[in-house]
């Protein structure tokens, strides 16, 4: 589904990714762990098409199509979703309006009819309820006044509404307490577990993986994958750290 081959990328002329190769088949969840500065967020941003990140070598395909040749909005329309480590605030823009415009834009690009206001409100309330979030919060400006955990929960509501085919989630567990971690983990499973979907989950810690249970865990160090395994690798990293993993 997603195939990354010998990917090299720079930010401000500084090499960050140094030959990342990784394949995530449809129906699987893969996790990436690694120390600060190893290139985890850079990989997420390159896949999503964030400006300022230059690919110097290698490539990435999504369902057999050249992902890096697509504009960011084309990647989103194709079903790629990026969950941010630090979701941004957008004062003056209602979260509900933002989500409705996002969803209908994608539906138009796929030749599907737009949802009416009533249809969308029903969908938004359903998704908020499943994430144990007060739907009234979605009437606020995007993320304004939200706690860190509320921002991440709202982002999962967004993912549920958009129902992407592939999600790249950059440290979704950051800022979550124990209860929110369980809710978000269950949300990832509910929304993204399926034979035609996939997830690349970036995290520092093993705790979220106990809820999501990835098919594979990869260690990213110095801009490339150094080890791969199952959840036992994540547990090993939790107890020994990354220095041992590089040995």
Residue 246 has pLDDT above 70, yes or no: no
pLDDT digits 0-9 by tens, 104-138:
999 998 899 999 999 999 999 999 998 888 888 89
Between CA 191 and CA 188 the distance in angstroms is 5
Domain count along the chain: 1
* Helix spans in 110-177 (H): 117-130, 148-162
Give the confidence band of 244 by pLDDT, cuts at 50, 70, 90: low
What is residue 149's predicted lDDT score, i.e. its pLDDT?
Answer: 82
Give the closest residue to 202 by CA, choosing from 27, 38, 17.
Answer: 38
pLDDT digits 0-9 by tens, 144-168:
988 888 888 899 999 999 999 999 9
Between CA 162 and CA 156 the distance in angstroms is 10
CB 80 within 8 A of CB 48: yes
pTM: 0.90
Q: Which residues pair with 147 in a beta bridge?
A: none
CA pseudo-torsion sign 190, 191, 195, 198: negative
CB 244 within 8 A of CB 35: no
CB 167 within 8 A of CB 194: no
What is residue 174's predicted lDDT score, i.e. its pLDDT?
Answer: 79
Residue 17 has pLDDT above 90, yes or no: yes
Between CA 107 and CA 113 the distance in angstroms is 6
Between CA 100 and CA 176 the distance in angstroms is 26
Between CA 51 and CA 120 the distance in angstroms is 31
pLDDT digits 0-9 by tens, 30-86:
999 988 888 999 999 999 999 999 999 999 999 999 999 999 999 999 999 999 888
Give the closest residue to 15 by CA, choosing from 67, 58, 63.
Answer: 58
Q: What is the DSSP letter of 64?
A: T
pLDDT digits 0-9 by tens, 83-107:
988 888 999 999 999 999 999 999 9
What is residue 245's predicted lDDT score, i.e. its pLDDT?
Answer: 56
Please tell me which residue, 205 or 6, carries the higher pLDDT value. 6
Instruction: Tell me the residue range of the domain where 119 lies.
Output: 2-246
- Give the tokens for residue 85: 């480590």
Q: Which residues pair with 217 in a beta bridge?
A: 31, 229
Query: Can you give the CATH number for the domain in which 29 is found?
Result: 3.40.50.300
Q: What is the DSSP letter of 115?
A: P
Q: Which residues pair with 24 in a beta bridge?
A: 2
Give the closest residue to 162 by CA, choosing from 66, 93, 98, 94.
Answer: 98
Residue 169 has pLDDT above 90, yes or no: yes
């Amino acid at each position: 589904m997603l195939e990354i081959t010998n990917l090299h990328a720079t930010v401000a002329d500084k090499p960050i990714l140094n030959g990342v190769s990784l394949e995530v088949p449809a129906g699987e969840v893969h996790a990436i762990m690694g120390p600060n500065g190893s290139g985890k967020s850079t990989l997420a941003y390159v896949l999503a098409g964030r400006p300022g990140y230059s690919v110097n070598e290698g490539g990435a395909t999504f369902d057999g199509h050249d992902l890096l040749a697509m504009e960011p909005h084309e990647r989103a329309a194709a079903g790629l979703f990026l969950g941010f480590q630090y979701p941004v605030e957008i004062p003056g823009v209602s979260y509900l309006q933002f989500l409705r415009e996002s969803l209908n834009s994608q539906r138009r690009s796929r030749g599907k009819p737009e949802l009416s206001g009533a249809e969308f409100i029903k969908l938004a309330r359903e998704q908020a309820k499943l994430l144990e979030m007060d739907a009234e919060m979605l009437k606020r400006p995007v993320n304004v006044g939200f706690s860190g955990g509320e921002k991440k929960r709202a982002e999962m509501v967004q993912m549920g509404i958009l129902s992407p085919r592939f999600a790249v989630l950059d440290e979704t567990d950051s800022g979550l307490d124990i209860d929110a971690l369980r809710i978000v983990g269950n949300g990832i499973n509910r929304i993204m577990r399926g034979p035609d979907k996939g997830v690349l989950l970036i995290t520092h810690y093993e705790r979220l993986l106990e809820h999501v249970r990835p098919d594979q865990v990869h260690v990213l160090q110095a801009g490339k994958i150094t080890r791969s395994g199952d959840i036992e690798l994540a547990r090993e990293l939790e107890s020994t750290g990354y220095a041992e993993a590089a040995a």
